[in-house]
Chain A
C-alpha cells in the first residue's frame, strides 16, 4: 500500500513540476517558512526538481535553531542549580550555549529530563514538591497552546514549584522582518501549515497586502510543497499577492479558537531575540503579569549574559534567505552537526543541518565556485 502511494505521489509530482515549468516565465525566489518543509525539500530534493527560474530559500522556521544563545545560557545556568529539575524537549539537549549544553550538564549530574509534553512537567512537580521544576518553553505558535496550558493548569491546581523559561517565537513578525530588510530577495512564501492549524491564516493577510507578496499556507509533504510552489508561482506570474490555503484538509482561516483563547490568556506578545538574526520587535510571547510567578526568568534572576556568535557563521543570512548553506566557507568542515557554529546547524530542521544530513556538503566541496569569496 505504502509503495503504491509513493508511486502515485511520484506521478503526481511530475505532473505538478510540468505545470510549474509551463507557468513560470520569470525568475522567482520563494521561501518556505517551516523547518519541517525545509527537511522535506532537502530530503526529496524538491528544489532540484523545479525549473532553474524557481529558487527555494529556507526560512527561520526551526524554533530550536532560533532560540538565542543568551536564552540557552540562561537555561544552562538554571539547570545547574541543585534545587532544580530542568525539563526540555529532546531537541534542545544538544544545542550548544556559550560553553556547555544541557546534555553535558546532565552527564555531570544535573537533573535534566527530556519530556514528551509540558503537561508531564506538572506530574514531575507534584511528585517532587521539594524541587523547583522548570520547563524550557520554546516553540512557534504550534507549541504555544501546550506550554500555555501547563501554566494555566499549574495555576488552577495550585502547583507552586513549576515555572517555564519562555523563548516563544512567532512566524508573522519574522516574515515581516525578512521583507523589511534591504537585502531581501524573497518574493513569495510557503506558509507554515501546522502553525496555522492553531492560528489560522487571517494574520498573514495584512502582510501579503502590505508587502505585496503571495503567501500560500502549505503542508509539509512533497506533493503539498510542489502544489504550494505552483500556487505561489501562479500568483507571482499573474501579479497577485494574496493569502491562499494549499492545506485546507488541516488548516482553516480561523484556526483553533479554543487554543488561541488560552494562549492569549496566559501569554502576551513581546520583543524577542532570534539566534543569528537579533531582536525582532513583537516577535515572541512572554508570560502575562498575572502569571509572573511561573516565569523562570524572573524567579531565578539570571544575570545578563553577554554572548558572541562565531564571526565566520552566516546563519543570520541563511535564515533570511539571503544566502544558502554552501555559500558559507565553514559549512561541512569547521561547522558540522557535531560541532555547530550557529543557528542553522544546531538542529536537524535547520537548513545547514538538513543540507549536511543529505550529503550536500560533499557536493559543496566538489564545487568550490559556490563558496563565499568575500
Chain B
C-alpha cells in the first residue's frame, strides 16, 4: 500500500485549474499523474508514483528494476483501476 510504482512520463500539461499534471506509462498502462511535487521532472523522465502523485525522479535502470520487483510481488493491481474521466459525467446510481 505504501509502495510507489515507477512509470515513464510521456506527457506534461497544466490542467484548467493550474495543476501540473502528466501522463505516465506503467508497463503499457497509461495513467494520469499529478506532478505538483516534482517540479523538476521533464517529459521522458522516470518517476516513482504513489496513488497518482509523482514523489521522486528515478533513473531508467532503477525504474525497470523496481517495476519488475513489484510485478513479481503482484503489487501492481492498483494500476487496473481506471482514471476518472475529466469531462463532467454522471454514473447512474444502482439502487
Contact = CB atoms under 8 A, between A and B. Distances in A.
Nearest to A142: B2
A116 interface: yes
A108 to B, nearest CB: 10
Interface string B28-62: 00011010111100000000101111011011001
Residue of B52, B66, B94 most packed against chain A (CB within 10 A): B52
A341 B93 CA distance: 33
A197 B4 contact: yes
Interface in A59-91: 61-64, 89-91
B86 A116 contact: no
A221 B62 contact: no
Contacts of B55: 142, 145, 194, 197-198, 256, 259
Contacts of B19: 153
If over half of A's interface residues share one DSSP class (helix, strand or loop), that class is named, otherwise mixed; here it is helix
B84 A123 contact: yes
Interface stretch (A22-30, A33-41, A275-283, A330-338): A33-41
A365 to B, nearest CB: 25
B86 A258 contact: no
Contact of B86 (A123, A143, A146): A123
A34 B1 CA distance: 9
Contacts, number: 134
B37 A124 contact: no
B78 A249 contact: no
A292 B31 CA distance: 31
B95 A90 contact: no
Interface in B72-92: 73, 75, 77-79, 81-86, 88-90
B13 interface: no
Given A62-B1, A256-B37, A90 B51 contact: no
Contacts of B53: 117, 119, 145-146, 149, 259
B10 interface: no
A80 B86 CA distance: 27
A126 B81 contact: no
Contacts of A116: 31, 51-52, 78-79, 81-83
Interface residues of A, number: 54
A146 B50 contact: yes
Contacts of B14: none
B84 A120 contact: yes
A192 B59 CA distance: 20
B40 to A, nearest CB: 9
A157 B18 CA distance: 10
Contacts of B78: 89-90, 116
Given A64-B1, A194-B3, A259-B53, 10 more contacts: A2-B68, A119-B34, A123-B85, A128-B90, A143-B51, A156-B17, A195-B2, A258-B37, A259-B37, A262-B37
3 closest A-B pairs by beta carbon, nearest first, are A117-B52, A120-B84, A116-B81
27 contacts: A2-B68, A35-B2, A36-B73, A40-B69, A61-B2, A63-B2, A64-B1, A111-B93, A114-B81, A116-B78, A116-B83, A119-B53, A123-B84, A126-B88, A139-B51, A143-B1, A146-B34, A146-B50, A149-B34, A149-B37, A192-B2, A220-B3, A221-B65, A249-B59, A249-B62, A250-B58, A256-B55
Interface of A: 2, 5, 34-36, 39-40, 43, 61-64, 89-91, 109, 111, 114-120, 123-124, 126-128, 139-140, 142-143, 145-146, 149, 153, 156-157, 192, 194-195, 197-198, 220-221, 249-250, 256, 258-259, 262, 347, 349
Interface of B: 1-4, 17, 19, 31-32, 34, 36-39, 48, 50-53, 55-56, 58-59, 62, 65-66, 68-69, 73, 75, 77-79, 81-86, 88-90, 93-95
